Amino acid sequence: MKDLSKDILELIRRTSTDLPADVETRLIAARDNEASGSAARSAMDTILANVEMTRRDSTPICQDTGTPIFFVKIPDKWNPRDLRGWIRDAVAEATRLTYLRPNAVDSLNGRNTGNNLGSKHFPTIHFEETDSETLTIDLILKGGGCENVGAQYSLPDDRLKAGRDLEGVRRVALDAVNRAQGEGCAPGFLGIAIGGDRGTGFIASKEVLLHKTDEKNPDPQLAALEEKITGEANQLGIGPMGFGGSSTILGTRVTSEYRLPASYFVTVSYMCWAFRRRRMTVEGDQITYQ
């Protein structure tokens, strides 16, 4: 099969420098919602000016280009070993070209590899087999500020009076948003997984972030919960950059996974306003980017 490393490099460039249109639309609406002359509004103006600038200049939206998280849907005819190699080559090249900051640090001696290549989980690559002929590669760049405030709750949670039901999910989600202030850059987005084990819960809470922010959840129960969480999170008044204001969360996506009888995890991944997400599709010779 054709070597895709150059095409994956282009996927990384677009992800780091060109914010998706659906995210930008939400940011513009958030700006218009803040009182004129407020620090919140001025922060949103700066954010939007930066988005425009990086798209034009092909420079990183945020200097923390984060953990590159790849989700690959792979048809039988492609070899995951090839893809892993191309992805790693592309990541190193993107770092050299300053689309990515060197972010892979050895936890024992503090040494930065300088090229974003660490052990097998850095960059993160998830493979999933598909019956389709089409290869898709999704990429999320998730910075450390918002990753640090990701939270996992084991229900029931007595402190928050959160039981094993959707009301419990609502309660812990709002707690997570309140705790994220001052760390993840608001206004942000939430990916929430109900169920799973501790590991799959976190993976699923990130995978739901692949949905476009204007895509409705097909499960009406979850769609209603998402709207409720977003609406109530905005009543917290944290606002852009935590300056106070009406926009704290611009979208929530919830997924439900299977769990053990003994476990009921709710995992919240917080994505900052710099919601860097792009998809590359390979169909025959045709490569498209979304």
Among 65, 116, 247, 252, the residue binding other proteins under the rule CB under 8 A is 65
Q: Is 224 in the site for other proteins (CB under 8 A)?
A: no
Q: Is 64 in the site for other proteins (CB under 8 A)?
A: yes
Q: Are 247 and 239 in contact (CB under 8 A)?
A: yes
CB of 73 to other proteins, least distance (A): 29
**Could you tell me the sign of the dihedral formed by the alpha carbons of 78, 82, 85, 90, in that order?**
negative
CB of 208 to other proteins, least distance (A): 22
Q: Is 57 in the site for other proteins (CB under 8 A)?
A: yes
Q: Are 215 and 277 in contact (CB under 8 A)?
A: no
CB of 63 to other proteins, least distance (A): 4
Site for other proteins in 102-121 (CB under 8 A): 102-103, 105, 110-112, 114
Comparison of 196 and 245: residue with beta carbon closer to other proteins: 245
Q: Is 161 in the site for other proteins (CB under 8 A)?
A: yes
Q: Tell me the two tokens of residue 266.
A: 């709710």
Site for other proteins in 240-279 (CB under 8 A): 241-244, 272-274
Report the C-alpha gap between 112 and 240 in whole angstroms.
32
CA distances from 18 to 15, 23, 190, 208, 278 (A): 6, 11, 20, 20, 9
Cβ-based burial of 58 (10 A; exposed 0-12, middle 13-18, buried ≥19)? middle
Among 66, 123, 145, 195, the residue binding other proteins under the rule CB under 8 A is 145
Half-sphere exposure of 278 (CA within 13 A, CB side): 22
CB of 181 to other proteins, least distance (A): 6
Question: Which range touches other proteins (CB under 8 A), out of 28-36, 142-150, 253-261, 282-290?
Answer: 142-150
Q: Are 100 and 88 in contact (CB under 8 A)?
A: no
Site for other proteins in 183-212 (CB under 8 A): 183, 185
**244 torsion bin: left (phi>0), alpha (psi -120 to 50), beta (else):** left
Q: In whole angstroms, what separates CA 254 from the centre of its chain?
A: 13
Would you give the binding string for other proteins spanning residues 83-102, x where CB under 8 A is met?
A: ---------------x-xxx
Q: Is 237 in the site for other proteins (CB under 8 A)?
A: yes
Report the C-alpha gap between 185 and 142 in whole angstroms.
12
Among 134, 148, 221, 288, the residue binding other proteins under the rule CB under 8 A is 148
End-to-end CA distance of the chain: 22
Comparison of 39 and 166: residue with beta carbon closer to other proteins: 39
- Phi and psi for 19 in degrees, rounded to 5? -65, 135
Number of residues lying near other proteins (CB under 8 A)? 54
Residues lying near other proteins in the complex (CB under 8 A) are found at 39, 42-43, 46-47, 49-50, 53-54, 57, 59-65, 98, 100-103, 105, 110-112, 114, 143-145, 148, 160-161, 171, 174-175, 178, 181-183, 185, 232, 235-239, 241-244, 272-274
